[in-house]
Amino acid sequence: MPEIGLETPNTSAYIQSELTKLDIPFHTIINGSGVVGTIGEGEPCLMLRSDIDGLPMAEESGEEFASINGNMHACGHDMHAATLLGAAHILKAHESELKGTVKLFFQPGEEGYNGSDEAIAEGVLENPHVDRAFAMHVVSTVPTGVIVYGERPMAAAYNWKIVVEGVAGHGSMPDSCVDPITAAAHVHIGLQEILAREISPMSELVITCGAFNAGDAGNAIPQSATMQGTIRVFDKKTEELAKKRITEIASGIAQTYRCAATTTFGRPSPAVFNDKEFMEQCVEYAKQTLPQAQLYGGAHGMGSEDFGSISQACTANYMMIGAAAGPLNECYGQHNPHVRFDENALPMSSALYASVAMNWLSDNAK
């Protein structure tokens, strides 16, 4: 039952039913789609977060449980929800041993909907106040049993949209029209020069155009062409330069071809910055709890994750765990309709979630 964005009523209802069976108190946020449970009481408080939303793509994994509603958990968020429910079972069974409060946050709207921002605005980090936040993500192209971590594992991401306006008309009379497709195509090429000639090779920046749409008929020149994409970046200076130049290049090239361009940017998903001390504590907990696991530091990539907002609002750590469902040369990456995940990663992930919560609370009891 994969659901999209900030509206995940069936997923949320299932999570609520499982928490009810465990006698774990909870409340909902984000129009009833986000679920926040608590185990234990008092200070300090550590929050475990899992995202729960899917992607709008038809599943082609071949799994017997493959979704049939046109949506898919192609990023493994169903694994994350199951992992946190598994941790809830463990933590509830050991509730009397907890030296504080564990907050369980099942978050909708990670995939481009800024769900963590919505949750923060609704007070997910308060009542009780969250002292530490921890999250994990499965990776379909990393072997099961491998855990990777780093101080800067995920980049910031901004969606952008460029609309190039021309003058529509019949395809037989291009001289009486102003073709926005030609202008937009040159804008797309021009954007590549930002990386090639304007950004230091030492900086980290990715500019992607993932959608290009114009017209409905092959014999007509359309009124407009629309391009959509993302910026992925770590430092603010590079981000500001990229946004400035995208706007300038789109406008300048459009004018060259007698068109006009409007550029807009969506809400940001900030970079994930892990607290070094807390990260190192979590690594030790992982070694103690999962001695068979292989741990590798230095995780650093241009993917994005809206846990970044949480990591910038409180002390946090974010790790990744392998869940490759077969030989790596046969595995698909995430956001692919054929992707599969190894469910053997689930008990490991649940154990690590529970271990981080129990051990950190014990080490920092007040």
Same domain, 149 and 39: yes
Range of weakest confidence among 24-28, 190-194, 212-216, 325-329: 325-329
Whether residue 196 is contained in a domain is answered as yes
List, for residues 159-209, the tens digit of each pLDDT value: 999 999 999 999 999 999 999 999 999 999 999 999 999 998 888 999 999
Statement to judge: residues 160 and 149 lie in one domain: no
Same domain? 27 vs 76 = yes
Same domain, 18 and 131: yes
Supply 157's token pair.
């991401």
Alpha helices in 22-107 (DSSP H): 77-93
3 is a domain residue: no
| In a domain? residue 2 | no
What is the identity of the amino acid at 178? V
The answer to whether 129 is annotated as binding is: no
Say if residue 366's pLDDT is above 80: no
For residue 74, pLDDT over 80 is answered with yes
Whether 161 is in a domain gets the answer: yes
How is residue 86 written in tokens? 């598994």
The verdict on whether residue 177 carries a ligand-binding annotation is no
Which is it for the CA torsion 94, 98, 101, 103, positive or negative?
negative
Q: For residue 286, what are the domain limits?
A: 9-153+271-363
Q: Is residue 329 part of a domain?
A: yes
Are residue 161 and residue 149 in the same domain, yes or no? Answer: no
Select from 215, 240, 265 the last residue of a domain.
Answer: 265
What span, in angstroms and rounded, lies between the C-alpha atoms of 254 and 242? Answer: 18
Q: How close are the terminal C-alpha atoms of the chain, in Å?
A: 42
Shortest CA distance to 234 belongs to which of 296, 164, 158?
158
CATH number at residue 213: 3.30.70.360
Q: Where are the beta strands (DSSP E) in the chain?
A: 26-29, 34-40, 45-51, 101-107, 132-139, 146-148, 156-165, 169-170, 205-214, 220-221, 224-233, 260-265, 294-296, 316-322
For the CA atoms of the chain, what is the radius of gyration? 23
- The pLDDT, as a whole number, for residue 212 is 97
Alpha carbon distances (Å) from 269 to 25, 122, 167: 30, 17, 35
Residue finishing a domain among 212, 230, 265: 265
Greatest CA separation found in the chain?
A: 79
Shared-domain flag, residues 257 and 190? yes
Distance, in Å, from the CA atom of 237 to the CA atom of 7, rounded to the nearest integer, reads 35
* pLDDT score of 247: 98
Q: How many domains does the chain contain in total?
A: 2
Instruction: Kindly report, residue by residue over 282-329, the tens digit of the pLDDT.
Output: 999 999 999 999 999 988 988 889 999 999 999 999 999 999 999 999
CATH number, domain of 308, equals 3.40.630.10
Higher confidence at residue 71 or residue 102?
Answer: 102
Do residues 17 and 139 both lie within one domain? yes
Same domain, 13 and 106: yes
Residue 132 forms part of a structural domain: yes
Neighbours of 311 (CB within 10 A): 24
Is 80 within any annotated ligand binding site? no
Q: Which of 231, 265, 299 is the last residue of a domain?
A: 265
The answer on 148 and 25 residing in a single domain is yes
Asked if the structure places residue 1 within a domain, the reply is: no
Pull the structure tokens for residue 14: 């299932």
3-state secondary structure 284-326: HHHHHHCCCCEEECCCCCCCCCCHHHHHHHCCEEEEEEECECC
Is residue 335 a known part of a binding site?
yes
298 class by beta-carbon count within 10 Å (0-12 exposed, 13-18 middle, 19+ buried): exposed
Token duo for residue 94: 């050991």
Residue 209: C-alpha distances to residues 82, 190, 192, 237, 296 (Å): 34, 12, 10, 21, 32
Could you give the 3-state DSSP secondary structure of residue 158?
A: strand
Q: Examine residue 4 and state whether it is found in any structural domain, yes or no.
A: no
Same domain, 222 and 333: no
Q: 280 and 206, same structural domain?
A: no
Same domain, 89 and 149: yes
